[in-house]
Amino acid sequence: MSTCSNLVWHAATVTRERREKQNAHGSGVIWFTGLSGSGKSTLAHSVEETLHQSGCSTFVLDGDNVRHGLCSDLGFSREDRAESLRRIGEMAKLFMEAGVLVLTAFISPFRADRERIRHLVGEDHFFEVYCRCPIEVCEQRDVKGLYKKARQGLIEEFTGISSPYEEPIAPDLLLDTSNTTLEDSVRKVLSIQRLSGILPR
Protein backbone atom coordinates (compact mmCIF):
# COMPACT_ATOMS: atom_id res chain seq x y z
CA MET A 1 0.00 0.00 0.00
CA SER A 2 1.32 3.45 -0.90
CA THR A 3 2.20 5.77 1.98
CA CYS A 4 1.49 8.86 -0.17
CA SER A 5 -1.99 9.21 1.33
CA ASN A 6 -0.35 9.80 4.71
CA LEU A 7 1.88 12.63 3.46
CA VAL A 8 1.05 16.33 3.61
CA TRP A 9 2.92 18.95 1.59
CA HIS A 10 4.53 21.55 3.85
CA ALA A 11 4.23 25.07 2.44
CA ALA A 12 7.41 27.11 2.96
CA THR A 13 7.38 30.81 3.79
CA VAL A 14 10.43 31.41 1.59
CA THR A 15 8.94 31.01 -1.87
CA ARG A 16 10.42 30.64 -5.31
CA GLU A 17 9.33 34.18 -6.12
CA ARG A 18 11.23 35.54 -3.11
CA ARG A 19 14.33 33.59 -4.09
CA GLU A 20 14.12 34.90 -7.65
CA LYS A 21 13.80 38.44 -6.35
CA GLN A 22 16.86 37.96 -4.16
CA ASN A 23 18.80 36.54 -7.13
CA ALA A 24 17.60 39.37 -9.41
CA HIS A 25 16.64 36.92 -12.15
CA GLY A 26 14.06 34.25 -12.87
CA SER A 27 14.56 30.50 -12.73
CA GLY A 28 13.95 27.73 -15.21
CA VAL A 29 15.34 24.68 -16.96
CA ILE A 30 17.36 24.86 -20.18
CA TRP A 31 17.23 21.33 -21.55
CA PHE A 32 19.96 20.42 -24.07
CA THR A 33 19.18 17.26 -26.04
CA GLY A 34 20.94 15.49 -28.89
CA LEU A 35 23.13 12.54 -29.81
CA SER A 36 26.26 11.61 -27.91
CA GLY A 37 29.01 13.84 -29.28
CA SER A 38 26.64 16.58 -30.45
CA GLY A 39 28.13 19.13 -28.04
CA LYS A 40 25.44 19.26 -25.35
CA SER A 41 27.73 19.27 -22.33
CA THR A 42 30.24 21.68 -23.82
CA LEU A 43 27.47 24.10 -24.73
CA ALA A 44 25.66 23.77 -21.40
CA HIS A 45 28.82 24.54 -19.42
CA SER A 46 29.72 27.43 -21.72
CA VAL A 47 26.27 28.96 -21.31
CA GLU A 48 26.56 28.47 -17.55
CA GLU A 49 29.94 30.23 -17.51
CA THR A 50 28.45 33.22 -19.31
CA LEU A 51 25.46 33.33 -16.97
CA HIS A 52 27.66 32.93 -13.90
CA GLN A 53 29.84 35.84 -14.97
CA SER A 54 26.63 37.88 -15.25
CA GLY A 55 25.84 37.12 -11.61
CA CYS A 56 23.25 34.39 -12.19
CA SER A 57 22.68 31.47 -9.85
CA THR A 58 23.17 28.38 -12.05
CA PHE A 59 23.79 24.64 -12.00
CA VAL A 60 24.52 22.08 -14.73
CA LEU A 61 23.13 18.55 -14.54
CA ASP A 62 25.23 16.40 -16.89
CA GLY A 63 24.45 12.91 -18.13
CA ASP A 64 27.70 11.20 -17.17
CA ASN A 65 27.89 12.98 -13.82
CA VAL A 66 24.46 11.90 -12.57
CA ARG A 67 25.28 8.33 -13.61
CA HIS A 68 28.01 8.41 -10.95
CA GLY A 69 25.54 9.10 -8.16
CA LEU A 70 21.84 9.81 -8.51
CA CYS A 71 21.34 7.24 -11.27
CA SER A 72 24.25 4.89 -10.60
CA ASP A 73 21.83 2.00 -10.09
CA LEU A 74 20.29 2.32 -13.57
CA GLY A 75 21.25 0.91 -16.95
CA PHE A 76 20.31 2.06 -20.45
CA SER A 77 17.15 0.09 -21.16
CA ARG A 78 14.05 2.04 -22.19
CA GLU A 79 12.65 1.66 -18.69
CA ASP A 80 15.89 2.70 -16.96
CA ARG A 81 16.29 5.73 -19.22
CA ALA A 82 12.76 6.82 -18.35
CA GLU A 83 13.41 6.42 -14.62
CA SER A 84 16.73 8.27 -14.92
CA LEU A 85 15.04 11.22 -16.59
CA ARG A 86 12.18 11.15 -14.09
CA ARG A 87 14.68 11.58 -11.26
CA ILE A 88 16.55 14.28 -13.16
CA GLY A 89 13.33 16.12 -13.90
CA GLU A 90 12.38 16.12 -10.23
CA MET A 91 15.85 17.33 -9.26
CA ALA A 92 15.77 20.06 -11.91
CA LYS A 93 12.42 21.23 -10.55
CA LEU A 94 13.83 21.41 -7.02
CA PHE A 95 16.75 23.53 -8.23
CA MET A 96 14.30 25.74 -10.12
CA GLU A 97 12.19 26.18 -7.00
CA ALA A 98 15.39 27.30 -5.27
CA GLY A 99 15.59 30.14 -7.80
CA VAL A 100 18.35 28.58 -9.88
CA LEU A 101 18.75 28.51 -13.65
CA VAL A 102 19.25 24.80 -14.34
CA LEU A 103 21.07 23.61 -17.47
CA THR A 104 20.86 19.93 -18.36
CA ALA A 105 22.83 17.91 -20.89
CA PHE A 106 21.18 14.57 -21.59
CA ILE A 107 20.66 12.60 -24.78
CA SER A 108 17.06 12.10 -23.60
CA PRO A 109 16.20 10.31 -26.86
CA PHE A 110 12.46 9.86 -26.43
CA ARG A 111 9.95 12.69 -26.87
CA ALA A 112 7.58 11.29 -24.25
CA ASP A 113 10.25 11.56 -21.55
CA ARG A 114 11.12 15.13 -22.51
CA GLU A 115 7.45 16.10 -22.61
CA ARG A 116 6.89 14.66 -19.14
CA ILE A 117 9.65 16.89 -17.81
CA ARG A 118 8.26 19.90 -19.68
CA HIS A 119 4.90 19.26 -18.00
CA LEU A 120 6.55 18.77 -14.60
CA VAL A 121 8.57 21.98 -14.83
CA GLY A 122 5.91 24.02 -16.60
CA GLU A 123 5.78 25.22 -20.19
CA ASP A 124 6.81 28.77 -19.31
CA HIS A 125 9.97 27.64 -17.56
CA PHE A 126 11.20 24.79 -19.80
CA PHE A 127 13.48 25.70 -22.71
CA GLU A 128 14.36 22.87 -25.08
CA VAL A 129 17.56 23.25 -27.11
CA TYR A 130 18.15 20.60 -29.76
CA CYS A 131 21.84 20.14 -30.59
CA ARG A 132 21.46 18.57 -34.02
CA CYS A 133 24.57 16.97 -35.46
CA PRO A 134 25.01 14.28 -38.14
CA ILE A 135 25.93 10.95 -36.60
CA GLU A 136 29.01 10.82 -38.83
CA VAL A 137 30.32 13.99 -37.19
CA CYS A 138 29.44 12.70 -33.73
CA GLU A 139 31.44 9.57 -34.45
CA GLN A 140 34.43 11.64 -35.57
CA ARG A 141 34.28 13.50 -32.25
CA ASP A 142 33.96 10.25 -30.29
CA VAL A 143 36.70 10.83 -27.72
CA LYS A 144 35.22 8.17 -25.43
CA GLY A 145 35.21 5.51 -28.14
CA LEU A 146 31.56 4.73 -27.46
CA TYR A 147 30.38 4.66 -31.08
CA LYS A 148 33.17 2.25 -32.00
CA LYS A 149 32.16 -0.07 -29.18
CA ALA A 150 28.50 0.23 -30.18
CA ARG A 151 29.35 -0.61 -33.81
CA GLN A 152 31.18 -3.68 -32.51
CA GLY A 153 28.15 -4.73 -30.51
CA LEU A 154 29.90 -4.16 -27.19
CA ILE A 155 27.35 -1.59 -26.01
CA GLU A 156 23.65 -2.39 -26.17
CA GLU A 157 20.84 0.17 -26.53
CA PHE A 158 23.20 2.87 -27.83
CA THR A 159 21.31 5.86 -29.18
CA GLY A 160 21.80 6.40 -32.90
CA ILE A 161 23.16 2.89 -33.47
CA SER A 162 20.98 0.27 -31.79
CA SER A 163 18.41 2.55 -30.19
CA PRO A 164 16.45 5.41 -31.82
CA TYR A 165 16.64 9.14 -31.23
CA GLU A 166 13.36 11.01 -31.60
CA GLU A 167 14.05 14.56 -32.71
CA PRO A 168 12.17 17.38 -30.98
CA ILE A 169 9.21 18.55 -33.05
CA ALA A 170 9.22 22.19 -31.96
CA PRO A 171 12.28 22.99 -29.81
CA ASP A 172 12.81 26.51 -28.52
CA LEU A 173 16.10 26.46 -30.41
CA LEU A 174 17.59 24.15 -33.01
CA LEU A 175 21.36 24.39 -33.35
CA ASP A 176 23.36 22.64 -36.06
CA THR A 177 26.41 22.05 -33.90
CA SER A 178 28.40 20.61 -36.80
CA ASN A 179 28.88 24.05 -38.36
CA THR A 180 28.01 26.59 -35.65
CA THR A 181 30.78 27.93 -33.44
CA LEU A 182 30.53 27.51 -29.69
CA GLU A 183 30.49 31.28 -29.18
CA ASP A 184 27.63 31.71 -31.65
CA SER A 185 25.73 28.82 -30.10
CA VAL A 186 26.00 30.39 -26.64
CA ARG A 187 24.76 33.70 -28.02
CA LYS A 188 21.78 32.02 -29.68
CA VAL A 189 20.82 30.16 -26.51
CA LEU A 190 20.85 33.37 -24.48
CA SER A 191 18.77 35.06 -27.19
CA ILE A 192 15.83 32.66 -26.92
CA GLN A 193 12.90 35.04 -26.68
CA ARG A 194 11.05 33.24 -23.89
CA LEU A 195 14.29 32.73 -21.93
CA SER A 196 15.33 36.36 -22.20
CA GLY A 197 12.33 37.31 -20.09
CA ILE A 198 13.79 35.69 -16.97
CA LEU A 199 17.44 36.71 -17.44
CA PRO A 200 18.90 39.80 -15.78
CA ARG A 201 19.00 42.83 -18.07
Give me the active site residues, please.
108
Residues 6+ apart with CB under 8 A from 91: 61, 70
Rounded Cα–Cα distance for residues 71 and 97 (Å): 21
Parallel, antiparallel or unpaired: strands 58-62 and 101-105: parallel
Q: Which helix (H) or strand (E) holds 147?
A: helix 146-151
- Of 91, 90, 130, nearest to 109 by C-alpha is 130
Rounded Cα–Cα distance for residues 94 and 121 (Å): 9
Rounded Cα–Cα distance for residues 90 and 117 (Å): 8
Intra-chain end-to-end CA distance of the chain, in Å? 50
Strand positions, DSSP E, the chain: 28-33, 58-62, 101-105, 126-132, 173-176
